[in-house]
Chains A and B, each alone.
Chain A
Amino acid sequence: MYVAVKGGERAIENAHKLLAEKRRGNPDIPEIKTDQIREQLTLSVSRVMAEGSLYDPDLASLAIKQARGDLIEAVFLMRAYRTTLPRFGYSLPIDTGTMQISRRISATYKDLPGGQVLGPTFDYTHRLLDFTLTANGEEPLEAESSSEGVDNTMPRVLDDLLNHEGLIQQEERVSDESHEPVGDLTRQPLEFPADRDIRLQNLSRGDEGFILSLGYSTQRGYARNHAFVGEIRYGSVDVEIAPEELDFPIHLGEIDITECENVNQFKGSKTAPPQFTRGYGLTFGQNERKAIAMALVDRALRDKEMGEEVTSPAQDEEFVLSHSDNIEATGFVEHIKLPHYVDFQSELELVRKMRREQAEQHPQRAAE
């Protein structure tokens, strides 16, 4: 048990001053600006927005600066900030089929309508340190342009290509959605069994490392569903809201997102013909590793609806969903460093008492 303690105010104040000095580093080096973080550390910004579950690149940049680059601490700052704001409402579901595409690849079809658009990717780089980046005065690079743009109406691999043959399960959708509730983890506590809406929200804001490791475990045999990446998309989508004061939906702006759709094996059952199954990943920003891993774990967590035996951690929704949130995790893991003096004092007393009792019962052992 953690017991509140008093005192130490001056030490705390001085510790925070020291933290600020360490954050600044050598004052002879120019201070990093938040817009530099926003523009040049975009993948850190993406991660902080995804796990902070709050899309705002400026805020994420500030959080990264304030947290000295500790991304989980930055996520914590984002989560804390959002609690100070009112909720205006829910957006209409974004349409990733009309994304302004920066990247779109498929691992299942080589030649497909719209093509394989690599976009800004680390894939196929040699992972050699580029020392020219440490040199000052680097010339700004201009990317090549094609005479024609990307076709933003290109088909979706799973729905438009694979489904065409009926070879993949359909995503279910009720005919009238106006009365269908959508679970919201920011409004209600996690309960089990959790429906897919809650699972997807949880995974999207879950810790990248945790989701990555779980996804990896499914590939190594801890849940049998061999996955292919049917399609990855990264780009911007429009967000719309239907405010109560207007009788039509309006555009709010664009957000960058990454989407991954996996195709998984399924043998079929007595009633259903053999069919591929699906796993879905969607995150704020450019966040491909997370989106792929999320799609693997989403598929693994669909075990019950597929009638599969739960044998592995990634299939156990209580295990996955209860431990994916890095703010909850870091809060509980790190709190044991805070003063537990009274608690520990009683443990000390107890151990001493047990040792005394044992010595009285077995005096010869104590003598050895």
Chain B
Amino acid sequence: MAEAALTADQALRKQRMESLARSSKQELEPFWKEHGQDLPYSYLREPEIGLVMVRGRAGGTGQRFNLGEMTVTRCSVRLSDGTVGHGYVKGRDKRHAELAALFDARFVQDDSTAGFLDILNNRRKAERDNQSAKAAATKVDFYTMVRGED
């Protein structure tokens, strides 16, 4: 995958879609009330549950293989001015995918509405840091026995 070739716009959109995917429906709903409530939109693709086959690599770095599937929900919307948004999220929450698609379009329409993502990103970072700090507390400290004399 030619990932290095992303434009600045693509990179920003990718980053924002990631924040939306990492969040939950419960987290996103109040922000939608604030930034998009009553905006008319139509579905390009109604919320749909499906599967993505997750791939790994032999030895972590080698030949690709199919590890197993995961449930994914996707949705595509069009706002009344024609702006299109896509949402792909892990799991089977249709409203989560719909909100992700709506925000994806909304951010294109009005960049200033994306400010709340910082709150969600900080929340995710705090959760990760907390988990990581707990794992770090289980790190083994090896020590060498010091002999009594000299």
Chain A contacts to B: CB under 8 angstroms: 49-50, 53-56, 58-59, 82, 85-94, 96-97, 100-103, 110-111, 115-119, 143-150, 152, 156, 158-159, 170-174, 177, 180, 182-186, 196-198, 200-201, 204-205, 235, 239, 241-243, 245-255, 257, 259, 261, 278, 280, 282, 284
Contacts and interface: CB of A to CB of B under 8 A. Distances in A.
B85 to A, nearest CB: 11
A268 B1 CA distance: 36
Interface stretch (B26-34, B61-69, B106-114, B115-123): B61-69
Interface residues of B, number: 57
A143 B137 contact: yes
Interface in B16-36: 17-18, 21-22
Interface of B: 1, 3, 6, 10, 13-14, 17-18, 21-22, 48-72, 74, 76, 86, 88-92, 128-140, 142
Contact of A245 (B66, B68, B76): B76
Given A144-B134, A149-B135, A171-B59, A88 B51 contact: yes
A118 B66 contact: no
Given A100-B128, A248-B10, A145 B52 contact: no
Contacts of A257: 67
Given A90-B52, A252-B21, A119 B63 contact: no
A147 B132 CA distance: 10
Main DSSP-derived SS at the A contact region = mixed
Contacts of A278: 59
Contacts of B10: 247-248
A115 B139 contact: yes
B137 A146 contact: yes
Contact of A172 (B14, B22, B62, B71): B62
A87 B60 CA distance: 24
Nearest to B49: A85
B138 A117 contact: yes
A56 B70 contact: yes
Contact of A182 (B3, B49, B55, B140): B55
A90 B18 contact: no
Contacts of B131: 100, 102
Given A148-B136, A149-B136, A248 B67 contact: no
Contacts of B49: 85
Contacts of B139: 115-118, 146, 150
A242 B70 contact: no
A197 B67 contact: no
A251 B55 contact: no
